[in-house]
Amino acid sequence: MTDVAVIGAGPAGLMAAEVLAQGGSRVTVYDAMPSAGRKFLMAGRGGLNLTHSEQLAQFMARYREAAPKLQAAIEAFSPDALRAWSEALGEPTFVGSSGRVFPKAFKASPLLRAWLRRLDASGVRFAFRHRWAGWDGEGRLLFRTSEGVAPVSANATVLALGGASWPRLGSDGGWVELLAAKGVTISKLRPANSGFTVAWSDVFRDRFEGQPLKGVALTLRAHTVRGEAMITRSGIEGGAIYALSAELREAVLGLGQATLMIALRPDLDIATLITRLSGTRGKQSLANFLRKAAQLSPVGIGLMQEAALASGRPLAAFSPAELAHLINAIPVKLTGVAAIERAISTAGGIAFDELDEHFMLHKLPGLFAGGEMLDWEAPTGGYLLQASFATGAAAGRGVLDWSKRS
């Protein structure tokens, strides 16, 4: 029987462990945290978005340049397979109005508990508070524990240690140096699905922190996304921002800043807005007039005031045509990327060229990797978890295939 060490008790690691146990391997899952699935549980706090229901071709496009490298793994453990897997654990799923897929319980904890029970019943062992520290001179895995450094022998190893976002939940990127020292090429870890900093005025920040922008369109050059965003004390974040985060991040990191254009009423053309804004204001305040004539929210009007302030002209001096153009093209200068510790996920990781088709590292035979450690990124919407589950399962199958061939 093959002894396999799985390092990391998140979705990718647990899925690798399940595949391995079903294939007859003796599996131990190691994790630095006191319990499994810490980040998985956090992801389910607002409703666990497992995957997405859109057609596979459109689904795969969300992974951008990494799509060809992930295609086989996701086809082998598809969104439909993930839904069936969840249902087999007693957690049926449903498709929300946005096409996103959730467990009916809408939480991560019941699914994780059922999964851990099944893993336990299949013989998977867990060793918590074990932080991976590389290898000793004999090639054994080393783990730092409360009782000192413990060496572990394994026939094969699956690494599923995540990226570097939310390090307090276990994914701190500490593995980068260990693999780089072995000559493994690793793309720099960068924030993905993150917020961005904006130098709001004190008045705007104090009044609108935590306020949502609903039904807006966000544009950076040729890229436009519809959805929602949220004003934060230091900038802006939210689903539509996350969908553009790769383009925004590269622009900010490359140029030091980026100008995001926000359309508050993207379904209204300029002519319609001009007509609405050409009426008599009377004794109404400008804010009241804009709210009624263009159905703008207070935070949207606040954004227009910010843009006027930056231009050096009071918003009250804008003509109806200027107001109409501003409503659907508010420039917001992004000055930085929010810290990676607060990002939902990370870009970068082990270069796919370092892996064979079974997710084994060419330079380190018997060592496999899956999940967010690999060099891919995707927006929120179920794509992150789907690829983590699928690559974890692929790494598990890779170990089984390699063990037979060895």
pLDDT band at 43 (very low <50, low <70, confident <90, very high): confident
Q: What domains lie within the chain, and their CATH numbers?
A: 3-191+346-405 (3.50.50.60), 196-337 (no CATH)
pLDDT at 233 over 80: yes
Of residues 338, 243, 343, 349, the one with CA closest to residue 39: 343
Q: Quick check: 28 pLDDT over 80?
A: yes
Pick from 164, 159, 169, 127: which is nearest to 43 by CA? 169
Prediction pTM value: 0.93
Residue 338 DSSP label = P
Q: Are strands 141-145 and 148-152 parallel, antiparallel or unpaired?
A: antiparallel
Residues 146-163: what's their mean pLDDT?
Answer: 97
- How confident is the prediction for the chain on average, in pLDDT? 96
| CA 101 centroid distance within chain | 16
The pair of three-digit structure tokens given for residue 66, joined into one six-digit string: 């990494």
Which three-class secondary structure state does DSSP give residue 344?
A: coil
Q: What percentage of the chain carries pLDDT values higher than 70? A: 100
- Structure confidence by residue, pLDDT tens digits, 280-325: 888 999 999 999 999 999 999 999 999 999 999 999 999 999 999 9
Question: So what's the pLDDT on residue 44?
Answer: 80
C-alpha to C-alpha distance for 383 and 379, rounded to whole angstroms: 7
Mean pLDDT of 161-182: 95
Name the β-bridge partners of 196: 236, 337
Tell me, what's the pLDDT at 406? 83
Q: Is the pLDDT of residue 201 over 80?
A: yes
> Coil, helix or strand for 146?
coil
Looking at residue 213, its pLDDT comes to: 98
Residue 45 pLDDT grade (very low, low, confident, very high; cuts 50, 70, 90) = confident
Tell me the backbone φ, ψ of residue 367, rounded to 5 degrees: -110, 120
Which DSSP category does 339 fall into?
P
Give the chain's largest Cα–Cα span.
84
Residue 360 confidence (pLDDT) above 90 = yes
26, pLDDT greater than 90: yes
As a whole number of angstroms, the distance between CA 335 and CA 317 comes to 28
**140: Cβ contacts below 8 Å, ≥ 6 apart:** 151, 152, 153
Inter-residue contact 159 to 391 (CB < 8 Å): no
- Six token digits for residue 60: 């795969």
How crowded is residue 67: how many other Cβ atoms within 10 Å of its Cβ?
16
| Residue 63 banded pLDDT, cuts 50, 70, 90 | very high
pLDDT at site 74: 98
Which candidate, 391, 386, 324, 322, places its Cα nearest to that of 360? 391
Query: Is residue 62 predicted with pLDDT exceeding 80?
Result: yes
Question: Which pLDDT band holds residue 249 (cuts at 50, 70, 90)?
Answer: very high
Nearest one of 94, 98, 161 to 133, comparing CA atoms: 161
| DSSP 8-state symbol, 192 | E
For residues 135 and 153, what is the distance between their CA atoms, to the nearest angstrom?
10
Per-residue confidence band for 1, with pLDDT thresholds at 50, 70 and 90: confident
